[in-house]
Structure 1
């Protein structure tokens, strides 16, 4: 799966990592619903760090279609809310 982190680039990530990422995505969604901006910031950072750690960065000149687009680390709570689907940022 190709994942784009806005403002950073693309990462190739094995589907086997989706369960771990979905756990963080669920935490992020719950924090957003509670209006917990500190928890939101912490969990968004953890989610993005997990994608970077578990994935392999694609070269800057690679233009692969992204199957998943995640907000950048500086995204606001409102910006992330605008990106949400029914099941969070990550499907599943």
Structure 2
């Protein structure tokens, strides 16, 4: 699957990693619902770092359709809420 991190680019990521990423996504949702700004920021960074670690960056000139779009590292809670689906940022199992 192709994942876009807004403001950074795209990575190719195996769907086998979705369960691992979903744990961070659930944590992020809980922090958003509780108004935990520092926790939200830390978990968002952890989620994006994990995507970068597990994914293979696509060349900058590659324009593949994105299967998943994640917020930029400096996104606010309100901006992330706009990207949410019923499953959060990462599709559930």
- Measured against the shorter chain, the TM-score band is over 0.9
Structure 2: how far apart are the matches of 1:70 and 1:15? 15
Superposed counterparts of 1:37-76, under 5 Å: 37-76=37-76
Partner of residue 26, structure 1: 26
Partner of residue 85, structure 1: 85
Task: List runs of 5+ in structure 2 lacking aligned partners.
Answer: none
Deviation per CA, 1:26-81, whole angstroms, max 9, x where unpaired?
A: 00000000000000000000000000000000000000000000000000010001
Partner of residue 13, structure 2: 13
Structure 2 length-normalised TM: 0.98
Structure 1 length-normalised TM: 0.99
Structure 1: how far apart are the matches of 2:35 and 2:78? 10
Aligned length: 92
Structure 2: how far apart are the matches of 1:19 and 1:62? 27
SS in 2 for 1:29: helix
Structure 2: how far apart are the matches of 1:63 and 1:41? 29
Q: Once superposed, what is the RMSD of the aligned Cα atoms? A: 0.4
